[in-house]
Chain A
């Protein structure tokens, strides 16, 4: 057994922090030195102030040491050690010392949690939370005193109560009455039990009923779910049609959006062109007015002596100057006007006076056609406004306004043309010719534009019969010519 004891003792001393390692062989032979050291050290752990007497040199000293140690351990730690064994300083002494060491060790191990608690509690100085406890304590204190007084009163009554009690106790017991009362109690209990049983049965029954109900409801739920599934599965008859229509609408919408965007883009281009043309027309107007003034001035000043040739040459020179921008502004789309224009110009170049009349005729024709076309335009728009609906209407309105604005823009030019005509009919034929060309240019631009916008032209062709009229009229006029 000494191996195990030594092992455990050595381990315990190691845990306690004994500075010297204790070998497993150390107490195989009596080892007083180590024993003394261990005893002194253990005694110091048990009682820090204690100083063991005695020593190692003589038997008396050793005995004194052992007795002193035993007394100390007995008084301080309540441990009884066998002095004879300790004195032996061998394996048995180890077993004795083990008692002390294990006590110290258990002290080291067990209260570690308590220690922490003890350390923690004084740290909390926060008594604000405990103020309410004062009130509680006071209430408790008053309660205690009240209870004490009450108890005192009751105890005062004890003297007379005692007699009554003893009387009651000494009264003989009536067996039959007791039996009856017991039976009554028994019956009452039995009734209670039976009612309890009944209730339990009822509970079972109601449980069954509830179960049945639950089952029914569940079945209903199942049915309803099944129905829901079937209903969900059925595809309505119009579904296919609806989807087809939806896709169709989708396509139509795409188409519409595309077209609308085209229209808008073209409109923008148109407006740009219009403004450019209006500017050009104004410039030319100004130039022509200048010329007219010049010629009028010449008229007024009576410089008729000048030869016609000179005039024409001047004219030609002027024209060539003025004509410069014309090919640029004149669109090449409208073949009729172009040919007519060029033909007129050529004719004018070749035969001076003839050309003037031709061009005048043409102007008149153009005037007619213009009024026609204007009218047809309007009608076209009207048609448009009828045929289109919804969002198109707004754009329609804008177009209308644009058209009227254009018309408005056109008016002055017409006016300006018609105003000088009576005055210069005979004298400034070439000028008129010039005007006609100009007006043609303007008109052709407009017409070209209107034709250029495909939708509009389409609409005009398809919807309005009268829109064909200007074409026919112009063609007729051409033919007539």
Chain B
């Protein structure tokens, strides 16, 4: 992954550009010390002067009103908040007319930011005050008073707290309770810029000491960057929270959310004072000290699935390659490619206007359908359907491009993370954003039976803890659909969705990441230094069986925050903390056994167990045979794992109950 940087030849601003912000995925506003407000259009690469402000108007910060799906006058949302060096903040409409100017601070007003829900705004100034204002510019409260200037302040994603800098420490101040303050020393130098991501709830800070650091909301340091020679002047999270960008003097660095660097560019732009991501997370704009506005696209995103690999080589070009037949092709799209998903024998490409579904067997003839809005934040694939997350909402399509369902549960899809939503072959699960203990599971219409979207049966599951990550099993009939969830304590639970009384069964604790196998009901989880595979998650009713059917393998130096990408044929693909991918064979035979069982081939399954002679495998077979009422097989298997009481029980059953009934 890397940035492809483009600038106009001549700087359009005379002097310093201080702030940039995206209007939508095509339009950028920028404002600089030449008092001009410029609007850039990336599609036809033109730049128009919206307005020229008076001569004493030196902007410090600019923020566009957040795009939220609330009703009301659209005109009211088209406003820009600009703070200036004379201590005022201005509300400017998109035509450049100053609608309101409010005297907010003594000295310069350094930060002005709308709250994420659009209800208010905060300003921070050189006088050390942080103030919250209503949308109309009436002072609500002065949150912070101090004697050192506040160089940066941001809202928390849920608008309930404010993070601000105080010298070289960071402070989180809750709005509702006045005494709850989290404060920690973050850097050796002055902190110049901070960012808070809604998706992963992590805080990013950049300082004059040349470091950028990632923090969680308790002030624990997650990662620290290498030391830069010059002060970090800007940091920005991508909307999805999987990347961030760091700007410094003549330097722009793209990093993974774990802190390691994807790429580093050294454009000769002077300090980069501000970086803004577009809402689709594929483009960014940067304000440079030499009057340039820098635009960058993320290219070279690579995806692999089985023997296919695709790579975005340009803004509109994707190279796909079949490694076995050594076929390769370059696919050109009419618009900019935003999202790519590869899997389940399909490649789904979302561009600004359309979505293309390529079958991997014949990738030259895609199925195409139009998108509602050009800001796709995520594409999920399952065996039979695709889920596309747009700002307008979630939609589930079949691979033929037919809309199957568009579930609604009052969510804000742009802040929906990959962990919070999971797609199964016939179900979609999502964590409620308001109450994160609640999980919605939507049944999707499958096959030829098309239900109207109204009678989508929704199952609501309530866990006792805040849920952080969910995953739906990918195989099996809908009645046996299982949901694995990781809660706030990193405990792993499995629940069968369609049970009349859903029971959350705990499988393990201290699990960092989970993933279901695509073809069987094999669940693999990641601990800090080991990988665990639960071959029969439904055996968890009996703890001894669960222990017998669990495979664990120790892995050293997984790094911090590793994730499981996928399981294929018992081989887990693990993305380690440093970004390298580890292929770990953990449950090859169990997965093969599971496949046999799914196909109802008990003789090959028995043969496999007899050949391999592994206790875990025998245990799996025993449990599965027991669950599938294959008593002879179960008897043999239980005998081999020394579960003699079970053997006796089976023998008793077989002697007393006619064979015919048993096989049913």
Contacts from A to B (Cβ < 8 Å): 1-4, 7-8, 11, 14-15, 21, 23-25, 28
- In the bound complex, residues from chain A placing their C-beta under 8 Å from that of B108 are 1-4
Q: A3-B85, A3-B107 are in contact. Are A23 and B190 (CB under 8 A)?
A: yes
22 CB-based A-B contacts, threshold 8 Å:
A1-B85, A2-B107, A3-B110, A3-B149, A4-B58, A4-B108, A8-B16, A8-B33, A11-B16, A11-B270, A11-B271, A11-B289, A14-B230, A14-B249, A21-B230, A23-B189, A23-B190, A23-B231, A24-B190, A25-B148, A25-B149, A28-B149
Name the residue of chain B whose CB is nearest to the CB of A3: B108
Contact of B151 among A1, A2, A24 (CB under 8 A): A24
B residues contacting the other copy or chain, number (CB 8 A): 24
Q: Are B270 and A4 in contact (CB under 8 A)?
A: no
- In the bound complex, residues from chain B placing their C-beta under 8 Å from that of A11 are 16, 249, 270-271, 289
Q: Does B126 contact A (CB under 8 A)?
A: yes
Name the residue of chain B whose CB is nearest to the CB of A4: B85
A133 to B192 Cα, complex, angstroms: 62
Q: Are B208 and A14 in contact (CB under 8 A)?
A: no
Name the residue of chain A whose CB is nearest to the CB of B16: A8
A352 to B630 Cα, complex, angstroms: 110
A11 to B85 Cα, complex, angstroms: 17
A14 to B86 Cα, complex, angstroms: 25
Summarize A's interface: helix, strand, loop or mixed: helix
Q: Are A3 and B289 in contact (CB under 8 A)?
A: no
Q: Are A23 and B58 in contact (CB under 8 A)?
A: no
Q: Does B60 contact A (CB under 8 A)?
A: yes
- In the bound complex, residues from chain B placing their C-beta under 8 Å from that of A1 are 58, 85-86, 107-108
A28 to B270 Cα, complex, angstroms: 23
Q: Mark B82-122, 1 if CB is under 8 A from A, else 0.
A: 00011000000000000000000001101000000000000
A1 to B149 Cα, complex, angstroms: 13
Contacts A1-B86, A3-B108, A24-B190 supplied; 16 other A-B pairs, CB < 8 Å:
A1-B58, A1-B107, A2-B107, A3-B110, A3-B126, A4-B33, A4-B85, A4-B108, A11-B249, A11-B271, A14-B230, A14-B271, A23-B189, A24-B192, A25-B148, A25-B149
Q: Are B190 and A25 in contact (CB under 8 A)?
A: yes
Q: How far is the CB of B47 from chain A (nearest CB, A)?
A: 21
A25 to B110 Cα, complex, angstroms: 14
- In the bound complex, residues from chain A placing their C-beta under 8 Å from that of B58 are 1, 4
Contact of A15 among B85, B167, B190, B270 (CB under 8 A): B270
Q: A3-B149, A4-B108 are in contact. Are A21 and B231 (CB under 8 A)?
A: yes
Q: Are A23 and B208 in contact (CB under 8 A)?
A: yes
Name the residue of chain B whose CB is nearest to the CB of A109: B290
A-B pairs with beta carbons under 8 A, tally: 49
- In the bound complex, residues from chain A placing their C-beta under 8 Å from that of B270 are 11, 14-15
Q: Mark B361-374, 1 if CB is under 8 A from A, else 0.
A: 00000000000000
A15 to B230 Cα, complex, angstroms: 11
Q: How far is the CB of B10 from chain A (nearest CB, A)?
A: 13
- In the bound complex, residues from chain B placing their C-beta under 8 Å from that of A28 are 149
- In the bound complex, residues from chain A placing their C-beta under 8 Å from that of B148 are 25
- In the bound complex, residues from chain A placing their C-beta under 8 Å from that of B126 are 2-3
Q: How far is the CB of A333 from chain B (nearest CB, A)?
A: 67
Q: Are A21 and B85 in contact (CB under 8 A)?
A: no
A245 to B85 Cα, complex, angstroms: 99
Name the residue of chain B whose CB is nearest to the CB of A25: B190
Q: Mark B346-361, 1 if CB is under 8 A from A, else 0.
A: 0000000000000000
Q: Are A3 and B189 in contact (CB under 8 A)?
A: no
- In the bound complex, residues from chain A placing their C-beta under 8 Å from that of B86 are 1
- In the bound complex, residues from chain A placing their C-beta under 8 Å from that of B192 are 24
- In the bound complex, residues from chain B placing their C-beta under 8 Å from that of A4 are 33, 58, 60, 85, 108
Residues of chain B from 192 to 231 with CB closer than 8 A to chain A in the complex? 192, 208, 230-231
Q: Mark B315-338, 1 if CB is under 8 A from A, else 0.
A: 000000000000000000000000
Q: How far is the CB of B128 from chain A (nearest CB, A)?
A: 11
A1 to B64 Cα, complex, angstroms: 24
Q: Are A21 and B208 in contact (CB under 8 A)?
A: yes
Q: Mark B225-239, 1 if CB is under 8 A from A, else 0.
A: 000001100000000
A221 to B441 Cα, complex, angstroms: 74
- In the bound complex, residues from chain B placing their C-beta under 8 Å from that of A24 are 151, 190, 192, 208
- In the bound complex, residues from chain A placing their C-beta under 8 Å from that of B230 are 14, 21
A1 to B33 Cα, complex, angstroms: 12
Q: How far is the CB of A19 from chain B (nearest CB, A)?
A: 11
- In the bound complex, residues from chain A placing their C-beta under 8 Å from that of B167 are 25
- In the bound complex, residues from chain B placing their C-beta under 8 Å from that of A2 are 107-108, 126
A21 to B207 Cα, complex, angstroms: 12
Residues of chain B from 240 to 286 with CB closer than 8 A to chain A in the complex? 249, 270-271
- In the bound complex, residues from chain A placing their C-beta under 8 Å from that of B107 are 1-3
Q: Are B60 and A3 in contact (CB under 8 A)?
A: yes
A27 to B655 Cα, complex, angstroms: 94
Name the residue of chain B whose CB is nearest to the CB of A8: B16
A8 to B108 Cα, complex, angstroms: 14
A11 to B110 Cα, complex, angstroms: 17
- In the bound complex, residues from chain B placing their C-beta under 8 Å from that of A3 are 60, 85, 107-108, 110, 126, 149
A385 to B221 Cα, complex, angstroms: 114
Q: How far is the CB of A271 from chain B (nearest CB, A)?
A: 62
A15 to B270 Cα, complex, angstroms: 7
- In the bound complex, residues from chain A placing their C-beta under 8 Å from that of B110 are 3
Name the residue of chain A whose CB is nearest to the CB of B125: A3
5 nearest A-B pairs in the assembled complex, by CB-CB distance: A3-B108, A4-B85, A11-B289, A25-B190, A11-B271
- In the bound complex, residues from chain A placing their C-beta under 8 Å from that of B249 are 11, 14
- In the bound complex, residues from chain A placing their C-beta under 8 Å from that of B231 are 21, 23
A14 to B271 Cα, complex, angstroms: 9
Q: How far is the CB of B629 from chain A (nearest CB, A)?
A: 74
Q: How far is the CB of B11 from chain A (nearest CB, A)?
A: 11
Q: How far is the CB of B573 from chain A (nearest CB, A)?
A: 43
A21 to B190 Cα, complex, angstroms: 12
Q: How far is the CB of B286 from chain A (nearest CB, A)?
A: 15
Residues of chain B from 34 to 71 with CB closer than 8 A to chain A in the complex? 58, 60
A49 to B108 Cα, complex, angstroms: 39
Q: How far is the CB of A169 from chain B (nearest CB, A)?
A: 55
Residues of chain B from 394 to 416 with CB closer than 8 A to chain A in the complex? none
Residues of chain B from 158 to 209 with CB closer than 8 A to chain A in the complex? 167, 189-190, 192, 208
A50 to B230 Cα, complex, angstroms: 29
Q: How far is the CB of A88 from chain B (nearest CB, A)?
A: 17
Name the residue of chain B whose CB is nearest to the CB of A24: B190
A295 to B503 Cα, complex, angstroms: 134
Name the residue of chain A whose CB is nearest to the CB of B249: A14
A112 to B33 Cα, complex, angstroms: 24
Q: How far is the CB of B53 from chain A (nearest CB, A)?
A: 15
Name the residue of chain A whose CB is nearest to the CB of B168: A25
Q: How far is the CB of A105 from chain B (nearest CB, A)?
A: 10
Q: How far is the CB of B112 from chain A (nearest CB, A)?
A: 14
- In the bound complex, residues from chain B placing their C-beta under 8 Å from that of A14 are 230, 249, 270-271
Q: How far is the CB of B85 from chain A (nearest CB, A)?
A: 5
